[in-house]
Structure 1
């Protein structure tokens, strides 16, 4: 099912993907799986109906769906013999259950159609007056047929449960990866993250935390099931336009002089005012040092990173070598990467949206050229390079919630990764812009908090926020959708002030 779901994700156009993320957010995968379950149930019902009317017609429906599943498994980067056998076994079991259930249902129906035996036949000689028809008596032959049908149905449920357990057992690699993660001891960084300044906290209740807890960090990717990668066998290969191909094991990576930095990353699907963005303390080895070992050749301008599940991202080579803290990350907020956030190793690149940089479960870096290779999202209509747009958000008060007249405290976050925020301003009802109190940034690669108290009397207000980066460039006011390279516009809320 996850293989078919992955094929569906690969096939949908970017507009549909963006709609799903906007509608369901980080629950997009749950919504897809529920939708797939409903479709499968509908196909099963269809197969039963057509098989009942014409033999082998339902089996054909099951066969087509089984072939589709098998083809989906073959397209997955993590396809294995176990997965192929499971796909074939599932189709075979489905055919057997379909024939068994239809046969039992037909037996039940044919026996139910037989005329019931009358409990008693009145004699014309016994009474000259008309006798009422006897009450229908259930045919005793119906019960065995009905019982056999229900037994077959229960057997089908049992087969399904056993199949599910069997599949779960075959997916035991996830448990192995989880146990392996628990045994990883992160080394002390050679360069620790600078301490968070006391002035970095704006002190506004309800504002987004400066550092996002791992459990709250957004997750947007194309993996329906989290790839289970054993760090003991993980290898990163650097190939392509290099003087020397390089292979790196997990143990070798942990032995490198690791650095720790706070970096804010964002998804390109993050709409204006959205929450598909987070800030964490990452531990890793600078990518530029790994690339220096390989020696990129003249003419190369892109690094195509590949995930264990086959997903790819195309990152400009200069961004990985210009001195910013682009990391092969192994740690997140003081612990090994969570499985869903790329354990054992992922890429973290300040200043770029995740679709061109934040490869999880990374296994390969291919030094190449944009004109020679394309990444996963580029042929689906998204731009090649994806720099993060300067943006800002109002966290409090929440839009649509009434507040008391008087001094209303506003607060939120703003970001201009790898450039830094210079100022944040608010305006009310399209009036003049008022500068907010800007908290101190942790670094140029992180968001920062802001706050401003406004004296508001009873009434309805429209409040907007904008940010200006340290180079003096003002946030783009024009409203644009996320595709093809990030949403723009001012975050706007409506505030209902009560007496």
Structure 2
């Protein structure tokens, strides 16, 4: 058994050291050059939509942590295999590591806006790991089965010590690289020093009757720390405000360029808007409501003067992600904005700092570009975006839906009057009614909280006279146009899930 684990440990130690050195170099040289993160980003790009949706359905906003852990496991297993191969059939182990390094280089070079320097960390990781594996494998071949031998042979203790030191050094370098990179991002972002200007146009006050005091019911405004996050960025782009630029190009009479300072000097407006992810399943929690501060995109587009036959704006994130937004959604009177603030604070880094898009009524995959740096006015028949290239629909209007928050599914409650409550939404249309059905009984009207605007969700509540036993609760909403939420169940692909949120509750 030791004949197996010694070469495996040599492979793992070599690769850990290589990755650690690469992470340390990446922290100083290439902010987004981490081999693990660049390969992870490539995996996200290449993974089929059904796999991405499955991961999101199981892990929710923990999808990135799951991917990173999975990649780490794959790398460690591959490293062990490389060590074993190097012991049995040299130089196959070093060749395998070289292939892994080539994948990292490819991942780095295929990222948007990348250059040759972005491939340096992955290439360095492979070189260091290959050299160390050759050294440790040679040391391993120089050991004797049971004891130190004369003639310059190497003891087992020396091999074990060298392997442990290699792994420990790599681990220290990896952690140090992450710490330095985190400090660099925080230093360059300087978010803490940002002081947002007062809004030239404040959001209407949230009515006192917009929120019910029911434990477990989602708050009418989602705290920043609890707001869902779904994107493709494994490493949050660190953009210094003084370096941020937005360019409006394409089918326009006049190209427009805007700096962060110029954006803050414009008359900014507040608005409360609910955002929803297209991956949100019926009853899911990939939805949140916040008060945003920003500048209406329609004013900037008016300055650029789009061509009469343009029908789409392709927005691009600093990390290369793209979204295709229908041009009318950015030029009509809805408050589609370049947002700089969220709930009275500068945008959190993970939510798009320093600038993101917020567009009422559209799922985020076609509108809510974080870390936005360009808007290209174009046509749907000329350009596609990240998710439409992967089978999702072009336009993505948010679908009418509702959710039961309390009681929680599977919860046991006492008989008598039980508060059933939740939220309903039909962004940019508004909700006019919510109904609840108990078992196979009739649909009964719930009480709606006051509306903030058509662009936000509404809370609702229903007093249920609960009797002992197991019961099924369903909810449906009606929008401001009289459309009743459909009971037809459809998957999130290609343009959002449909169906009625249904839970079972046991009454004691």
Q: Which runs of 5+ in 2 are unaligned?
A: 1-35
The number of residues matched between the two structures is 471
- Distance of 2:462 and 2:261 partners within structure 1: 49
Q: Which residue of 2 aligns with 1:195?
A: 205
Q: Is 1:150 aligned with 2:181? A: no
Higher-Rg member (1/2): 1
Q: Which residue of 2 aligns with 1:364?
A: 374
Query: 453-462 vs 481-490, which deviates more?
Result: 453-462
Q: Which residue of 2 aligns with 1:60?
A: 95
Compute the TM-score of the two structures, normalised by the length of structure 2: 0.90
Of 21, 32, 37, the residue aligned with 2:67 is 32
1:297-333 CA-to-partner distances (Å, cap 9, x unmatched) read 0110000000000000000000101110101000000
Of 65, 70, 84, the residue aligned with 2:119 is 84
- Distance of 1:254 and 1:436 partners within structure 2: 43
1:79-124 CA-to-partner distances (Å, cap 9, x unmatched) read 355532212211111101111221122222xx116xxxxxxxxxxx
Q: Which residue of 1 aligns with 2:187?
A: 176
Q: Is 1:99 aligned with 2:134? A: yes
Q: Is 1:483 aligned with 2:489? A: no
Q: Secondary structure at the match of 2:491?
A: coil
Q: Which residue of 2 aligns with 1:214?
A: 224
- Distance of 1:168 and 1:449 partners within structure 2: 42
Pairwise CA distance, 1:77:
2.1
- Distance of 1:414 and 1:76 partners within structure 2: 39
- Distance of 1:378 and 1:491 partners within structure 2: 27
Q: CA 1:419–1:95 in 2, change beyond 3 Å: closer, same or farther?
A: same
Pairwise CA distance, 1:203:
2.1
Q: Which residue of 1 aligns with 2:277?
A: 267
Q: Secondary structure at the match of 1:254?
A: helix
Q: Is 1:291 aligned with 2:301? A: yes
Q: CA 1:82–1:156 in 2, change beyond 3 Å: closer, same or farther?
A: farther
Q: CA 1:232–1:81 in 2, change beyond 3 Å: closer, same or farther?
A: farther
- Distance of 1:193 and 1:166 partners within structure 2: 43
Q: Is 1:20 aligned with 2:55? A: yes
Contact 1:104 1:152 in 2 (8 A): no
- Distance of 2:98 and 2:172 partners within structure 1: 21
Whichever structure has more helix as a proportion of its residues is 2
Q: Which residue of 2 aligns with 1:116?
A: none
Q: Is 1:493 aligned with 2:497? A: no
Q: Secondary structure at the match of 1:477?
A: coil
Q: Which residue of 2 aligns with 1:431?
A: 441
- Distance of 2:112 and 2:135 partners within structure 1: 36
Q: Secondary structure at the match of 2:114?
A: coil
1:391-415 CA-to-partner distances (Å, cap 9, x unmatched) read 0000000110110011111000000
Pairwise CA distance, 1:172:
5.0
Of 219, 226, 237, the residue aligned with 1:227 is 237
Pairwise CA distance, 1:205:
1.7
Q: CA RMSD in A?
A: 1.5
Please list every run of at least 4 consecutive aligned residues from structure 1 whose deviation after the TM superposition is greater than 4 angstroms. Answer: 138-144
Q: Which residue of 1 aligns with 2:431?
A: 421
Pairwise CA distance, 1:78:
5.2
For residues 363-402 of structure 1, the aligned pairs below 5 Å read 363-402=373-412
Pairwise CA distance, 1:20:
0.6
